[in-house]
Structure 1
């Protein structure tokens, strides 16, 4: 199993950052390069515990579907989504939030396993881990930008 750890400091309230992180609409904006679109389950608004979303996106030149379910949520501290159906052998994404010095520390722990045994492990090491890290960083940058510009401008935009 491969694991990606990311920490992002956001100069905004933990409740707002938490909601941005679970916004289907913002997720679609942040992943526009891969044409990611929610096509089933929760397709807009804020995803909640026990809800699913099916994403259709173009990754590595191929359109794929990925269905995830929010299996745990403790507002505004954490939520976990787990793959129900998709290209991975398994996938689990922990979103953890903590207030530190008046800012929000957003931590991602993204665990995944590719199919195809040793070939999948080699693919992860050579390419997929870096690709997914970049994907998650872009998403986090969008959350940070929206949260911090909203704080500055005094508006809440999803």
Structure 2
């Protein structure tokens, strides 16, 4: 199962970065390139423990829907979102926020995912998803960073 980790330095305190990371509007703005939007569950404001949201986006020319739940939540240290239904066999995204000792935050994303369809999914992981998913998350993190640092 593919795993990757992305670390992003943010010049804002963990409480602020944690809060911004859970804002539906920040997420949708960060994914504007794929037209991602929240279409069910919590569709605006800040997500909290147990909240679900269904995202709709266009990737690879196809429309995708994924319903995720905030399955773990310990402000301002971390939260986890997991796929309940959608395109992946498994999607587990742990968001960690640690003070950097200078008033900022080290934001660390740990993602585990698996494509469906057995051997065909494994080919898709190696050929496309292993580079596409980290790139997509880096775009999101740059947007979160800018939003958190702006206030």
Could you say whether these structures have the same fold, taking a TM-score greater than 0.5 normalized by the shorter chain as the test? yes
C-alpha distance after superposition, 1:100-136 (max 9, x if no partner): 1221000001110001112211211121121111110
**For the residues of structure 2 that align with 1:92 and 1:107, how far apart are their CA atoms?**
14
C-alpha distance after superposition, 1:3-36 (max 9, x if no partner): 1100001000111100111110100100000000
Structure 1 moving runs of 4+ over 3 Å: none
**For the residues of structure 2 that align with 1:83 and 1:145, how far apart are their CA atoms?**
26
C-alpha distance after superposition, 1:70-116 (max 9, x if no partner): 11100000000110000101110000110012210000011100011
Segments of 5+ residues of structure 1 without an aligned counterpart are 151-158
> What is the aligned residue count?
150
> For structure 1, which segment, 21-30 or 141-150, has the greater mean C-alpha deviation from structure 2 after superposition?
141-150
Cα RMSD of the aligned pairs, angstroms, is 0.8
What secondary structure sits across from 1:122 in the alignment?
helix
Segments of 5+ residues of structure 2 without an aligned counterpart are none
What secondary structure sits across from 2:88 in the alignment?
coil
Q: CA deviation at 1:149?
A: 2.5
8 Å contact 2:26–2:147 — kept in the other structure? Answer: no
What secondary structure sits across from 1:106 in the alignment?
strand
After superposition, residues 113-132 of structure 1 pair within 5 angstroms as 113-132=114-133
Aligned to 2:15: 15
Aligned to 1:110: 111
* 1:25 pairs with 2:25: yes
**For the residues of structure 1 that align with 2:28 and 2:56, how far apart are their CA atoms?**
10
